Structure 1
Amino acid sequence: MRNKPVIGFIGLGLMGHGMAKNILEGGYELWVRGRSNRAPIEHLVSMGAKEAINPKQLAEVCDIIHICLSNAPQIEVIMRSQYGILAGAKPGLIVVDTSTSDPDMTKRLAAQLRAKGGHFVDAPMAGTPAKAEAGQLSTMLGCDRDVLPHIRPVIACWAETITRIGETGEGHKMKLLMNFINLSYADLFSEATSLGAKVGIAPEKLREAISSSHIGQQVL
């Protein structure tokens, strides 16, 4: 790998655009692959990024590729299709999947990339589009320890908190657990709001009362 790795980025939506922008501003050569929305692509190209014709080309020219997509089937297509990443993968390529995805599929893709001499890292992120733009996301990594020094400086462009959970697949497991906790809080708040209304506490008053408390930090 070069002293300053060339970075690829697939998925320039509400989160991905800010992440890619921060990588570019971090001084890395950036190649991007977007979808039908041209606005984020054109913005990044105006800043100096290069646009790839397909994921295969990204794998051929980049050292580290980020994926930021909606679901596991999309990631599988990006990796395994005729013009996907695996078709162009070379020894040493690192793929960083920042999506929320299926840990079992992550392990299968990692095995296929490993057979070509590459490494697959699951790095799902937590935060908002505003935090993505500001480079203040957090991420939980599943990767080999030896890979971490190569990717940490790049990930630090968009994440202020980087936690290695364990081997490949463990990051996605952790993100699913966090989603489970968040949904549980939301369900609990809904139940409390309903009960409050029954005993005469208006929903807006319930929210006002707990918004500044330690409970509010968790559920709002």
Structure 2
Amino acid sequence: MSKQRVGIVGVGLMGHGIALNLARKGWPLGYLDHPGNQPTDDLDALGATRHPDRTALAGASEVVILCVTGTPQVEDVLLGDGGVLASL
């Protein structure tokens, strides 16, 4: 059985660790390119794909993980202009 394609929004302090563990375990991983991310060279070296926007990330993912700071950010990522839900 193949592993589902996972996308993650929020590769900061906590999200980077989650993403790194997924990539190390061989999950196909994509992440949103964002100025708040931790350095992602290690993720890229493990085959993770950087996506320029939420639409591209959602379109390439079967599962999307959010690791953002609060409710307003969750609502924006999911429902805002170019939100993830519209692209799934």
**Which TM-score bucket, shorter chain as reference?**
0.7 to 0.9
2:11 equivalent to 1:12: yes
Unpaired stretches in structure 2, ≥5 consecutive residues: none
Q: Is the 8 A contact 2:5 2:62 kept in 1?
A: yes
Aligned-pair identity in percent equals 30
Greater fraction of residues in helix: 1
Could you list the structure 1 runs, at least 4 aligned residues long, displaced by more than 2 angstroms after superposition.
37-43
CA distance in 1, matches of 2:31, 2:68: 13
- 2:34 aligned residue: 35
* 1:65 counterpart SS class: strand
In the superposition, the TM-score normalised over structure 2's length comes to 0.88
Amino acid at match of 2:11: L
1:73/1:37 Cα in 2 relative to 1: closer, same or farther (>3 Å)?
closer
Q: How does 1:180-195 map to 2 (within 5 A)?
A: none
Q: Shift of the alpha carbon at 1:38?
A: 5.4
Amino acid at match of 1:18: G
Q: Is the 8 A contact 2:8 2:64 kept in 1?
A: yes
Larger Rg computed on CA atoms: 1
Q: Is the 8 A contact 1:32 1:41 kept in 2?
A: no
Q: Shift of the alpha carbon at 1:22?
A: 0.3
Indicate the RMSD between aligned Cα atoms, in angstroms.
1.7
Q: Shift of the alpha carbon at 1:4?
A: 1.4
In the superposition, the TM-score normalised over structure 1's length comes to 0.38
Which structure has the higher relative contact order (CA within 8 Å, separation 6+)? 2
CA distance in 1, matches of 2:36, 2:70: 18
1:38/1:86 Cα in 2 relative to 1: closer, same or farther (>3 Å)?
closer
Aligned pair count? 88
Q: How does 1:13-162 map to 2 (within 5 A)?
A: 13-37=12-36, 39-89=38-88
Q: Is the 8 A contact 1:54 1:84 kept in 2?
A: no
CA distance in 2, matches of 1:63, 1:11: 17
CA distance in 2, matches of 1:66, 1:38: 14
